[in-house]
């Protein structure tokens, strides 16, 4: 079925990753960049195939954009494509960040005030991202049917419990060990 | 030994970093700041730099590695945080490709959302505590200002962060 679609070379694939790795800003806005590059502009995957890949990337641990790039790399080019693609995506930002950290020594007083202001702004952006995702607590696998009220309430309580547990000092691994089974039971049994 | 400890911290957190680096921020902070690897200010600096550079905001891990052990530390942190997810996606591709079209994968993704959102909310709160330091009122004021700007204007993430920097600096000079 995919035989009629164009197949990227390793160089094609690395160019896509390097472009997104050097030109993309903002955390949530980058997933559509892959869809644009891989589905709309080059036709390497169909819209449905892409949606499937995106679901796997969001489910499994790892930043969504990294998972997406790695999965697409394995699928379109092979293991080498996945590993080198991730390097092209992640290395430019990491190198730039380290270089900037050398230039801005945090022990200087004039760095402290803007640094704290920028951190607070970053946190506000995170809070806005969370608020945009909250409606997802009311959805089901079928877009036409919203979740029942008791499912919504249970999901809200689970979210609050996870947040409170982490803030009260529980280890992340312990919290996930308890919360993930509960989340699965909520989805499949309630 | 320090490099090995650093690798282990990043590698095992990479294995549970659902969605983004935000899912593991409180645990990272505990493992690195409370153990004395980096200062709270160093951690904030890494967070900010991760937000302003292009690419995944996990770039902050390379900055932390650099603060702990220079170039070797940056490399160890970089490889440590990304190797788990890349390996997991390879395994997922090998397995999932055989039985595609399974709706329970979508349902699992849906099931995980409240957990991930809870982790993100905890990150926002614990990081806010670190960022505020002793200046709680100033931090709240800057947060409200940036929030209003974000909702009422079309400013992008970078501009909003610079607005935050200006607002905190001005607030500190005035008080």
Q: Nearest residue on chain B to A78, judged by CA atoms?
A: B90
Whether residue A42 contacts residue A36, with contact meaning beta carbons closer than 8 Å, is answered with no
Quickly tell me which residue has 């009629």 as its tokens.
A4
State whether A13 and A98 are in the same domain.
yes
Q: Which 31-70 residues of chain A touch chain B by CB within 8 A? A: 52, 55-67, 70
Q: Is-contact B14 B81, C-beta < 8 A?
A: yes
Q: Give the long-range contacts of residues A108-111, CB within 8 A, separation 24 or more.
A: A111/B45
Same domain, residue pair A147 and A79:
no
What are φ and ψ of residue A25, in 5° steps?
-130, 155
Residues A79 and A6 in one domain: yes
Residue A137, domain extent: 109-189
Hey, are the CB atoms on A126 and B21 less than 8 Å from each other? Answer: no
B23: nearest Cα among B114, B103, B93: B114
Task: Spell out which residues of chain A touch residue B117, defining contact as CB-CB under 8 Å.
Answer: 130, 133-134, 137, 159
Instruction: State the nearest Cα–Cα gap between A9 and chain B, in angstroms.
Output: 19
* Same domain assignment for residues A63 and A129: no
Whether the model clears a pTM of 0.90, i.e. scores above it, the answer is no
Residues A7 and A88 in one domain: yes
Convert the pLDDT of each residue in A23-43 to its tens digit: 876 555 577 788 888 998 899
> ipTM for the complex?
0.89
Mean pLDDT (whole number) for A145-161: 92
d(CA A121, CA B132): 12
Tens-place pLDDT, residues A45-100: 998 888 888 888 988 999 989 999 999 999 999 999 999 999 999 999 999 999 99
Cα–Cα distance list, B93 to A135, B96, B123, B127 (Å): 29, 5, 30, 35
A65, A118: one domain: no
Res. B111: pLDDT tops 70: yes
CA–chain centroid gap for A60, Å, is: 10
A38 lies in the same domain as A91: yes
Do A88 and A131 fall within a single domain? no
Q: What's the DSSP call for residue A146?
A: B
Which residue, A71, A103, A135, sits at the end of a domain? Answer: A103
Comparing C-alpha atoms, which of A71, A48, A66, A55 is closest to residue A2?
A48
Q: Which of A102, A122, A139 sits opposite B110 (nearest CB)?
A: A139
Closest Cβ opposite residue A186 in set B111, B126, B133: B111
Model confidence pLDDT, tens digit, residues B146-165? 999 999 998 888 889 999 99
Buried b (16+ CB within 10 A) or exposed e, A39-67: beebebbeeebbebbbbbbbbbbbbbbbb
Domain count for chain A, please give it. 2
A183 and A98 in a common domain: no
């Amino acid at each position: 079925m995919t035989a009629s679609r164009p197949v990227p070379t390793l160089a094609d694939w690395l160019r896509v990753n390097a472009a997104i790795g050097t030109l993309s800003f903002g955390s949530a806005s980058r997933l559509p960049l892959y869809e644009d590059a891989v589905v709309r502009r080059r036709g390497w995957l169909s819209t449905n195939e892409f949606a499937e890949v995106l679901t796997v990337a969001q489910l499994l641990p790892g930043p969504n954009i990294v998972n997406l790039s790695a999965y697409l790399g394995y699928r379109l080019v092979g293991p080498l494509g996945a590993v080198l693609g991730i390097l092209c995506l992640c290395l430019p930002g990491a190198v730039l960040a380290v270089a900037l950290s050398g230039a801005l020594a945090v022990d200087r007083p004039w760095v402290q005030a803007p640094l704290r202001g920028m951190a607070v702004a970053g946190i506000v952006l995170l809070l806005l991202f969370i608020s945009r995702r909250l409606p997802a607590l009311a959805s089901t696998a079928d877009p036409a049917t919203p979740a029942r009220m008791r499912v919504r309430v249970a999901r809200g309580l689970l979210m609050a419990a996870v947040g409170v547990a982490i803030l009260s000092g529980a280890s992340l691994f312990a919290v996930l060990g308890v919360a993930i089974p509960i989340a699965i039971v909520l989805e499949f049994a309630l | 030994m320090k490099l090995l400890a650093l690798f282990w911290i990043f590698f095992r957190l990479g294995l549970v970093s659902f969605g983004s680096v935000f899912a593991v921020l409180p645990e990272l902070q505990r493992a690195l700041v409370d153990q004395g690897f980096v200062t709270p200010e160093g951690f904030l600096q890494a967070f900010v730099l991760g937000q302003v550079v292009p690419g995944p905001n996990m770039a902050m891990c390379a900055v932390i590695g650099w603060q702990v052990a220079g170039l070797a530390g940056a490399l160890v942190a970089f490889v440590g945080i990304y190797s788990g997810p890349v390996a997991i996606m390879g395994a997922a591709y090998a397995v999932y490709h055989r039985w595609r079209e399974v709706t329970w994968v979508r349902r699992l993704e849906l099931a995980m959302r409240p957990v991930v959102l809870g982790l993100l909310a905890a990150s926002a709160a614990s990081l806010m505590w670190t960022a505020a330091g002793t200046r709680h009122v100033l931090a709240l004021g800057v947060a409200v200002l940036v929030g209003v700007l974000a909702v009422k204007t079309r400013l992008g993430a970078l501009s909003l962060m610079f607005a935050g920097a200006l607002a905190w600096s001005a607030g500190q000079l005035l008080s």
